[in-house]
Structure 1
Amino acid sequence: MSLEVTGKLLLKYDTQQVTEKFKKREFVLELAEEINGNIYTNYAKMQLVQNKCEIIDKFNAGDNVKVSFNIKGTKYEKDGKVNYFSNLDAWRVESASGAPAANNSQPAPSYNSNTNNTNNYSQQSAAPSPEAVDDLPF
């Protein structure tokens, strides 16, 4: 499942060589959502992996960016205890300079069928489903 989010780039971390064959680079987006006239700010820590680590280089803190990402989850067991963790794995970062600043914008509409979701910015799909755009009467 591919998702998109638009926000302000807050921080970029250095690339970390986790193992001999795996590297990652984390960054933080500031996301703003207006609900009933109040603006709520959230922060999403995302990561780029392997050959994608450099795609954030051309952006600076404060830039508005659109990030395409996948949610990855892992089950971890140690000493009889089970833990779970999730990563937001970015695979594309592009300028959102044509979009208004995250603090002044309305959340992007959700194109999925979950209409009770209050976090539309995190559930926006890359494109509307064919059912959503089919306006034929039959």
Structure 2
Amino acid sequence: MEVQGKIKMIDDTKTYGNNGFRKRELVITTEEQYPQHIMIEFVQDKTDLLNNFQVGQNVKVSINLRGREWTNPQGEVKYFNSIQGWRVEAMDGAAGSNMPPMPPVDAFEPANELNEEDHDDLPF
């Protein structure tokens, strides 16, 4: 799945436990009639993906939905969901492309009428 929006917040990487579990949170605001603030977590080596992004940047984030079940000490079953990111792409301009941006349409001159002399200059 993918979510698109503008970066609202990028948290610092946090380390948990003795095993060095790393987690970093990103909040993006969707651009729709009723914008949503979506918190996406990046874990372990994926936390580094956010190093090249800044607040205010438009991005597309590839995500996985995760869910788990937990039974508390009183025997009650609880369910938790999380959204985990695994790829982030900049959506501004031609980011990630080696091609130069296309000039606006009004920058082109209209083509002249084709005359008969131009018609016979094919090499075959």
TM-score (norm 2): 0.70
Alignment equivalent of 2:9, drawn from 8, 11, 34:
11
Summarize deviations over 1:65-94 as a string: whole Å, max 9, x none.
110010010111112121111111100011
Confirm or deny that 1:86 pairs with 2:81. Answer: yes
Distance in 2 (CA, whole Å) between partners of 1:29 and 1:89 is: 13
In the alignment, structure 1 residue 69 sits paired with structure 2 residue 31? no
Aligned to 1:28: 27
**Counterpart secondary structure, 1:40:** coil
Partner amino acid for 2:29? E
What letter matches 1:30 in structure 2?
A: T
> Which structure features the higher share of strand residues?
1
Question: Which consecutive segments of 4 or more residues in structure 1 shift more than 3 A?
Answer: none
Cα RMSD for the two superposed structures = 1.4
Partner residue, 2:114:
none
Deviation at 1:18, TM superposition (A): 1.9
1:95 aligns with 2:90: yes
Larger Rg: 2
AA matched with 1:47 = E
Aligned residues: 92
AA partner of residue 75 (structure 2): G
Distance in 2 (CA, whole Å) between partners of 1:82 and 1:18 is: 25
Instruction: Percent identity, please.
Output: 38
> Could you tell me how far 1:98 is from its partner in structure 2?
3.4
User: In structure 2, how many angstroms separate the alpha carbons of the residues matched to 1:98 and 1:83?
Assistant: 44
- Structure-2 separation of matches of 1:98 and 1:77: 48
Which runs of 5 or more structure 2 residues have no equivalent in the other structure? 95-124
> What is the letter of the counterpart of residue 53 of structure 2?
F
TM-score, with structure 1 as normaliser: 0.63
**Higher RCO, 1 or 2 (CA under 8 Å, sep at least 6)?**
1
